[in-house]
Amino acid sequence: MQKSILFKNTNISFSDIGKGTAVVLLHGFLENKTMWKNITPVLAKKNRVIAIDLLGHGKTDCLGYVHSLTLFSEAIEAVLKHLKLRRFYIIGHSLGGYVALKLADRNPIKIKGLCLLNSTSNEDDDARKALRIRANNMAQQNFENLIRMSFVNLFTASSRDKFSKEIEFALHEALKTTKQGYIAANEGMRIRLNRNHVLAENKFKKLIIAGKNDPVLQFETAKKEAKKTNSELIGLDGGHMSHIENKEALSTILLNFLS
């Protein structure tokens, strides 16, 4: 069921389906809660699944011109407070993983388990930060082409052919992101801090799911991160979009994570 609340006079959109253990799903950059459309029905058979549109994405409005991880997490906290959720699992894809980590840093006692899906607790390196600055400058000039180029590059060449219909749908949703939402989120990711400690120091269940050919987050780096933070690591074939490239395997992995 589609619902919404007001947070700082800004509309936050979310869905709330099923009964049982609460599971919070946070989508990635240039996505919205529709990215979970194949996974939510599977998880909702035995769980209460809440999928939230992050600030500036989907049907959630922007709130200023920099969406910091603190601001993102405060908006999520407002939804969870509205739903009166005391403890929950949280699964975040890419940007959603960064938000999940910040949320867990602020409220570790509420977290039953945290899954980073094609995401990381590491901060951006200098090259990535510089790339984000260039992208935000490009967004002012040719926004649609920037989104198309950025989005397609998240997939391996073989995946682009094999999942062309699914990619077209996801790209259609990505193009709904406003220029302000793009820039605000990109800047928030650029200035985020390293949060290895959130995984290393907490006792809740921890899982990192990484694409073995991810062009954004290198698999070898994910291996080192998992070892450093005492987190379980599962590697999947494909790139940065495991919910498209490995949807059947991913559903099974997530069900096991929640069991």
User: Using an 8 Å Cβ cutoff, are 77 and 107 in contact?
Assistant: yes
Q: What is the DSSP letter of 193?
A: P
Of the candidates 19, 27, 15, which has an alpha carbon nearest to the alpha carbon of residue 185? 27
- Please write down the long-range contacts of 242-245, taking CB distance under 8 Å and 24 or more positions apart: 242/117, 242/118, 242/209, 242/211, 243/35, 243/36, 243/38, 243/39, 243/93, 243/117, 244/155, 244/159, 244/163, 244/166, 244/167, 244/170, 245/155, 245/156, 245/159, 245/163, 245/211
- For tokens 């820039």, the residue is 183
pLDDT of the residue at 158: 86
Q: What's the predicted TM-score (pTM) here?
A: 0.97
CA distances in angstroms from 166 to 31, 41, 78, 85, listed in the order given:
13, 17, 32, 33
User: Using an 8 Å Cβ cutoff, are 94 and 119 in contact?
Assistant: yes
User: Tens digits of per-residue pLDDT, 41-89?
Assistant: 999 999 999 999 999 999 999 999 999 999 999 999 999 999 999 999 9
User: Tens digits of per-residue pLDDT, 210-246?
Assistant: 999 999 999 999 999 999 999 999 999 999 999 999 9
Best CATH choice for the domain 2-258 from the list 1.20.1050.10, 1.20.120.80, 3.30.70.20, 3.40.50.1820: 3.40.50.1820
User: Using an 8 Å Cβ cutoff, are 157 and 41 in contact?
Assistant: no
